[in-house]
Amino acid sequence: MARLIETQVPDFGRAAEPPPWRLSREGYEARLDSIRARMDRLGWTHLIVYGDREHFANLLWTSGFDPRFEEALLIIGLRGAPLMLAGNECVNYLPATPAPMRVERFQWFSLPSMPKDSSRPLAEILRDEGVDAHSRAGLAGWKDYNDPRRIDAPSYLVDAVRFAAGWENVENAAALFVDPLDGLRSTATAAEIVFFEWTGALASDGMKRVIDAITPGALDHDLLQHAQYNGVPLGCHMTLKCGRNRVSLASARGERIVRGGRFSCGICYWGANCCRAGWVVAGPDELPASIRDYAASFAGPYFDAMAAWFDQLHIGSTGAALHDAIHSRLAEEKFHVFLNAGHLIGFDEWISSPVAPASRIPLREGMVMQSDVIPSHPDYYSSRMEDAYALAGPALRAEIHRLSPDCLARCDARRHWMRATLGFPVSDGVLPLTNLPAVVSPYLLNPSLLLSAR
């Protein structure tokens, strides 16, 4: 059973500078080969990948390019260099990637009122890329919808591809990238994990500073300055909820911290999302009278369920095992864990999730799991220990050690601390990528008072 202990979270450190994660030209050529092998298996002559500022990760994985301001489209045939269509702003940004590709300015991706007088028609581009009535094309947006005919890309693009190839010859291809069973992006490389460990440390160090700075009367915008944002791309917008702000996923909006009030915060960079939630009190006596058992009756049972979740977080386990670890312990009518009990994180904050009732999807080496289990109650509110954890067997651990011995040492130190101090049964194959591993402070004005299962 969880209990409260007085302790300090160690300073696990972090990399001094951002580790490289982009592939060489040869690496992107290997990814292109893997895509074409899937295309051949599925009977596709073309894979067309759409991306925009919010939904960029499929393009980034494939080409090392994430569009800024605009949309972009990558057309991949069975042979030759793919064609990237980009707008006025992004054409000159594309040389930043070494991936093999041809580039063409397509000004309909440019911003409103920008020049649009020097682009070929999309129908002509598709024809020259061989998309015709003899083609079968997969078109990847972001979501697969479990429906091959429903595609989340702008209608004029989908219509143009369907007109060129025939409506029945175009299907949703998002699962090729995001499917938790065998999607190409469902696992990360060693270099990506080393990068995510850096962003995880940035996010969690920022969260620790924000929590340490919580003071009644403090302005939410001022608190977020303690995150010390350094320019690394965001995985989603920062959130901070306090005072009268009760909107889920809310940004700071000029509210002030209230003693005895609720608080939540999320700091999210590529590959890292650190979230915490709790009460702005120094102890139970400052809570509303009806919930002074918050630590024992709500945050504590949540902590115990997460200990069971970590017991099942290992290579060879299943999505169902993670689901059952939570739902067999946290009653729906009290804890209301509505979303998946954990999901995959990468350069986008949510790739997909293997976690679902009766899911036989195995947890595999290279998966980066987000411990995103969200209990909620109208009175008790919530609790959170949301961070990223990579699954790594001996081969992947060896590659991470080759790239960054210090990264692996920090992960091992965090895992040891989780076991020795928090009492969590964490597998040797779990690499905690955060400097607040499984840390829950139920009383945020007393952040050294932590829950422990020991």
pTM to 2 decimal places: 0.96
Domain with CATH 3.90.230.10 in the chain: 189-452
Residue 388 tokens read as 């990223």
In this predicted structure, the answer to whether residue 14 has a pLDDT above a threshold of 90 is: yes
The region, left, alpha or beta by phi > 0 then psi within -120 to 50, assigned to residue 245 is beta
Q: How is the chain split among helix, strand and coil, in percent rounded to 5?
A: 35, 15, 50
DSSP 43: T
Over residues 341-390, the pLDDT tens digits come to: 999 999 999 999 999 999 999 999 999 999 999 999 999 999 999 999 99
Helix (H, G, I), strand (E, B) or coil at 65: coil
pLDDT tens digits, 129-176: 999 999 999 999 999 999 999 999 999 999 999 999 999 999 999 999
- How high is the pLDDT of residue 337? 97
Domain(s) of CATH 3.40.350.10: residues in the chain: 25-178
Given a contact cutoff of 8 angstroms between Cβ atoms, the answer to whether 294 and 408 are in contact is no
Q: What is the predicted pLDDT for the residue at 96? A: 86
Q: Quick one: fold of 25-178?
A: Creatine Amidinohydrolase; Chain A, domain 1 (3.40.350)
pLDDT in tens, 293-302: 999 999 999 9
Arithmetic mean of pLDDT over the chain:
96
Radius of gyration of the chain (CA): 23
Side-chain half-sphere CA neighbours of 69 within 13 A: 15
Superfamily of segment(s) 189-452: Creatinase/methionine aminopeptidase superfamily (3.90.230.10)
CB 299 within 8 A of CB 278: yes
Q: How far is CA 10 from CA 17, 200, 278, 424, 448, in A?
A: 21, 15, 21, 16, 11
| pLDDT for residue 183 is more than 90 | yes
